[in-house]
């Protein structure tokens, strides 16, 4: 499977690091199998007891308050990650998740769940900021895209775990299963190497060489190649670290502003597609489909399986077809799928139309959306986040991106139930469809290709693009001046002729 020991070690390290992302996935997927139990006040078939009674408003807070916690940590961790390192910051998420799942097990109150979800949001903010950076910095240029897809792959694995186990076990058992992931993460990631980029930033060249030597296979025959790569990394880092490292540096140059714009567009497209609301509310949404051949929980499980499986082709395609084609297919395909689902629910909820022969449409359209989303929008946000920012702004810009994701995701998740209650679920899907199509147009005109390029090459291309635009702007300005001068000369000649 792996052509070399170097590839295996990079894949292995990325897999262990993204166990932190799997933890985030479990916290995202957890509400779906338990939410209907809470809202309906149903007695659990395994334990013969009712857990927590919730109103519709309380359940929407349990789903969405995780995003408030996710709003707190990105900027502080964006500063901290350049001082203490990528590895220690990621390790702090393990204890946060362990404590949160223990609270789920040993306390049964809605307000405690608010605390739990907020705590899990704090950990998610760290994971979503640091993990893409760590993966990008340990990866070689030729496999960075594939390794970056581990982020969405492990996120979907965590969600699928909740979907698979949740409907068939009791409340406490599901929490115990979720608790296993952070324990395993702490026991394994502590042995992984620190990012060689960070070590060079701190002047720890010997440690950086050891880290890179291990990541690239640890063979003496490749020593010269590793030394050359280390020298290039050092030159890139030293050049970038000569710039300031304050917050405003992420918008201090045209290239940095363009990098920020590119990543924010993809981040907005990711969230406005609606995936952050479709997943936790999946069972509730499918329950609205009358006469379905399978239960809402089975629909949700099928959705989770397809989302999980669809991440594997992305790992193969992202370094072959490139980022842009996958993003374009994902944006426009997701928009069409959401439009179809919205139309079905519009007819079902507002018109007396017999749709019994078409009750398969919601399942097909929503699962198609999830699959198409997972080949582009889902995996490529962390990929671009790790690629487009230079070393001196990568942490802060990652924090800003996480906040963008968090704010919009919170609004999408919180408003999903509000829109359902006041207008109908169809309006959610129409909003998501319009958002995907608009973002697809922006992707086409603004986002460049970055496959197979080193960090230095990406920054060089951004600067060339800015220089080219400046040159064109200056040329247009000069042409306008020339036209005005020519017009003035013609007027003077005409005036002289008239006077003569």
pLDDT digits (tens, 9 = 90+) for 280-304: 677 667 766 665 666 766 777 777 7
Pull the structure tokens for residue 298: 């089975």
- State the first-to-last Cα distance of the chain, in angstroms, to the nearest integer: 89
With cut-offs at 50, 70 and 90, classify the pLDDT of residue 50: very low
**Closest by alpha carbon to 128, among 200, 261, 22, 202?**
22
Q: What is the pLDDT of residues 83-98, one digit of tens each?
A: 898 999 999 999 999 9
- Rounded mean pLDDT of 450-456? 72
Span 217-242, pLDDT tens digits? 766 656 777 788 888 878 877 776 66
Among the ranges given (44-48, 112-116, 321-325, 430-434), the one the predictor scored with the smallest mean pLDDT: 44-48
Q: What is the mean pLDDT of residues 197-203?
A: 86
Residue 79 has pLDDT above 50, yes or no: yes
- pLDDT for 47: 45
Cβ contacts of 101 within 8 Å, gap of 6 or more: 175, 176, 178, 179, 182
pLDDT digits 0-9 by tens, 143-199: 777 787 788 788 888 988 887 888 788 888 889 999 999 999 999 999 999 988 888
The pLDDT of 446-466, averaged and rounded, is 73
Give the DSSP letter string of 139-197. Answer: S-TTTHHHHHHHHHHHHHHHHHHHHHHGGGS-HHHHHHHHHHHHHHHHHHHTTSPPPHH
Q: Band of the pLDDT at 18, cuts 50, 70, 90?
A: very high
Top-ranked range on mean pLDDT: pick from 246-260, 281-295, 350-364: 350-364
- Of 41-55, 232-246, 355-369, the poorest mean pLDDT is in 41-55
Quote the pLDDT of residue 91. 94
Q: Which of 19-28, 35-44, 96-105, 482-491 comes out lowest in average pLDDT?
A: 35-44
Confidence of residue 273 (pLDDT cuts 50, 70, 90): confident
The pLDDT of residue 36 is 62
Same fold, 1-192 and 250-452: yes
| The pLDDT of residue 194 | 92
Protein fold of 250-452? Growth Hormone; Chain: A; (1.20.1250)
Q: What is the chain's length?
A: 500
**Over 60: is that where the pLDDT of 3 sits?**
no
Name the fold adopted by 1-192: Growth Hormone; Chain: A; (1.20.1250)
| 200 CB-contact burial (10 Å; exposed 0-12 / middle 13-18 / buried 19+) | buried
Q: Where are the domains of the chain?
A: 1-192, 250-452
Higher-pLDDT residue of 403 and 200 is 200
Q: Does 41 score more than 50 pLDDT?
A: no
């Amino acid at each position: 499977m792996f052509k070399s020991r170097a590839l295996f070690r990079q894949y292995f390290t990325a897999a262990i690091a993204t166990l932190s992302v799997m933890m985030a996935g479990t916290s995202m997927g957890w509400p779906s199998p338990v939410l209907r139990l809470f809202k309906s006040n149903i007695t659990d078939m395994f334990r013969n007891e009712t857990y927590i009674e919730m109103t519709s408003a309380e359940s929407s807070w349990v789903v969405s308050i995780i995003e408030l916690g996710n709003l707190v940590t990105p900027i502080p961790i964006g500063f901290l990650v350049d001082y203490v390192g990528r590895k220690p910051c990621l390790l702090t998420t393990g204890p946060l998740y362990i404590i949160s799942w223990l609270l789920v097990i040993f306390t049964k109150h809605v307000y405690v769940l608010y605390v739990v979800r907020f705590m899990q949001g704090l950990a998610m903010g760290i994971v979503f900021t640091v993990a893409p950076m760590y993966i990008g910095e340990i990866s070689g240029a030729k496999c960075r895209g594939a390794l970056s897809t581990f982020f969405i792959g492990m996120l979907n694995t965590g969600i699928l775990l909740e979907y698979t186990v949740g409907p068939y076990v009791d409340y406490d058992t599901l929490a115990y299963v979720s608790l296993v992931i952070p324990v395993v993460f702490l026991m394994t990631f502590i042995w992984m190497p620190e990012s060689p980029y960070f070590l060079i930033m701190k002047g720890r060249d010997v440690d950086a060489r050891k880290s890179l030597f291990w990541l690239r296979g640890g063979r003496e025959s490749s020593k010269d190649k590793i030394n050359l790569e280390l020298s290039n990394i050092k030159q890139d880092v030293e050049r970038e670290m000569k710039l300031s490292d304050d917050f405003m540096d992420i918008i201090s140059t045209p290239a940095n502003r363009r990098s920020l714009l590119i990543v924010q567009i993809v981040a907005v497209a990711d969230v406005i597609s609606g995936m952050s609301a479709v997943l936790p509310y999946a069972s509730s949404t499918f329950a609205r489909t009358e006469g379905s051949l399978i239960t809402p929980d089975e629909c949700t499980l099928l959705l989770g399986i397809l989302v999980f499986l669809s991440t594997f082709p992305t790992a193969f395609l992202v370094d072959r077809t490139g980022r842009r084609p996958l993003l374009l297919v994902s944006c426009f395909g997701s928009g069409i799928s959401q439009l179809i689902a919205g139309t079905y629910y519009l007819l079902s909820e507002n018109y007396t139309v017999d749709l019994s022969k078409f009750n398969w449409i919601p399942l097909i359209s929503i699962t198609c959306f999830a699959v198409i989303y997972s080949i582009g929008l889902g995996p490529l946000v962390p990929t671009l986040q790790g690629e487009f920012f230079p070393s001196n702004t990568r942490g802060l810009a990652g924090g800003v991106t996480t906040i963008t994701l968090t704010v919009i995701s919170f609004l999408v998740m919180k408003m999903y139930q509000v829109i359902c209650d006041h207008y109908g679920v169809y309006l959610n899907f129409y909003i998501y469809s319009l958002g995907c199509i608009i973002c697809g147009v922006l992707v086409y005109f603004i986002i460049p290709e970055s496959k197979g390029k080193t960090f230095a090459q990406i920054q060089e291309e951004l600067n060339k693009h800015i220089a080219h635009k400046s040159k064109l702007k200056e040329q247009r300005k000069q042409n306008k001046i020339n036209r005005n001068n020519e017009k003035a000369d013609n007027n003077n000649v005409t005036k002289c002729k008239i006077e003569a």
